[in-house]
Amino acid sequence: MRFVLGPVGLLVLSGIHPAYAETAPAWPASYLGRVEALAVVEGLNARLLASRSATATLEGWCTEHGMAATPRLAANRQRGADKPASEETRRRLNAGPDTVLRYRQVRLACGDHVLSEADNWYVPERLTPEMNRLLETTDTPFGRAVQALGTTRQTIGAELLWQPLPQGWEQAPPPASTCGDLAIPDHLFRHRAVLFTAERVPFSEVVETYGAAILAFRRAARPADPACAASPSDGPQP
């Protein structure tokens, strides 16, 4: 997957500031490029697992990497989406069969970059009326809407969906140089977590799937791989 940008003139006409709309160069499919991509993905993965709020962590990521003129996360709510909660979700939320659960699906974006998609089941009776209003009628990120609860989170599942290096790479010699651009899939890793109030009352379960756009920032320049400099790119490499 490559990130494509249009001409700067068109960006200006569309109202997007070129300094933030320019897409970073594609990641190289070289051994170094793959190691760097893995390090970045694992680094953000660890930060999110250690964080109380995915919203705040992603906003920090966007700010640090200059990904938007206004690095504030926006939740693009998918209106009309519905997905019944599983029995396991109800059990984790201490919600009996008669307890009302609401479902919210959003795409969390910083500027033009959709960093993650989130499926969220929550117990409205454990939130304030204002929190419920924000969640039902606005695109406010869930973490920001409920932050007054003193939210903590317990991760119950974490899964890497993409491995840019082959199995056993840490004990094998570096492979021969691979020229071209690294093919980055849409989904990189996924978390499932339960959110609790400060009184340790569970009120929400969320499944967050983090996408390729977390890598769409301008990296520092690296020396060109001599093995690839003499020949043009043959296109994205797996």
pLDDT tens series, the chain, 238 aa = 333 333 333 232 223 333 333 455 688 888 888 999 999 999 999 999 998 888 889 999 999 999 998 888 888 888 877 899 999 999 999 999 999 999 999 999 999 999 999 999 999 999 999 999 999 999 888 988 999 999 999 999 999 999 998 888 777 777 666 788 899 999 999 999 999 999 999 999 999 999 999 999 988 888 777 777 654 444 445 5
Identity (one letter) of the amino acid at 34?
R
Total-model pTM? 0.79
Measure the CA–CA gap between 127 and 204, rounded to whole angstroms.
10
**Residue position matching structure tokens 């020396």:** 223
Exposure string of 26-48, with b = 16+ CB inside 10 Å and e = fewer, is bbbbbbebbebbbebbeebbeeb
What is the pLDDT at residue 148? 95
What is the pLDDT at residue 177? 64
What is the pLDDT at residue 23? 53
What is the pLDDT at residue 5? 34
Identity (one letter) of the amino acid at 81?
A
Tokens read off for 92: 């984790």
Tokens read off for 61: 């990521």
Q: Strand runs (DSSP E) across the chain, as ranges? A: 73-77, 102-110, 113-122, 152-160, 187-196, 202-211
Name the residue ranges covered by the structural domains of the chain.
27-165+178-219
What is the pLDDT at residue 8? 31
Q: Which residues contact 122 (CB under 8 A, 6 or more apart)?
A: 101, 102, 104, 135, 142, 195, 203, 204, 205
Whether 223 and 40 have beta carbons less than 8 Å apart is answered as no
What is the pLDDT at residue 54? 87
Q: Could you name the CATH architecture of 27-165+178-219?
A: 3-Layer(aba) Sandwich (3.40)
Closest among 112, 97, 197, 104 to 147, alpha carbons compared: 197
What is the pLDDT at residue 129? 97
Q: Is 200 helix (H, G, I), strand (E, B) or coil?
A: coil
Local structure of residue 125 (DSSP, 8 states)? G
What is the pLDDT at residue 159? 95
